[in-house]
Amino acid sequence: MTVRVRLPRVLTDTTAVASRHEVTGATLGEVLESLFADAPGLRHHLLDEQGRIRPHVLVFVDSVRADIDSAVGPDAEVQVLQAVSGG
């Protein structure tokens, strides 16, 4: 099954990574690992030192907020957003 991942522009502009990816995985963790196989430089920007999603990064699976263990269905869309924080 293919999972579509969309990344925010503030991340892709600076990391020179495409904003849309097609990867695989049955959980969000697996999806992200598949994404990191394509773009290894994204790992430290999306996950903290403990392997958790960074506190100010939001990930939605089919518009529902998800965590690293969340299930991802076939043909799901995963959207990564930065939290509305900062100044």
Options 48, 62, 67, 75; binder of other proteins; rule CB under 8 A: 48
**Binding region for other proteins (CB under 8 A) out of 21-29, 41-49, 64-72:** 41-49
**Cβ contacts of residue 52 below 8 Å, gap of 6+?**
68
Number of residues that bind other proteins (CB under 8 A): 23
Is 41 a residue that touches other proteins (CB under 8 A)? yes
Give 8: exposed, middle or buried? Use CB within 10 Å, 0-12, 13-18, 19+. middle
Interface residues with other proteins (CB under 8 A) are 10-11, 13-16, 40-41, 43-46, 48-51, 54, 56-57, 82-83, 85-86
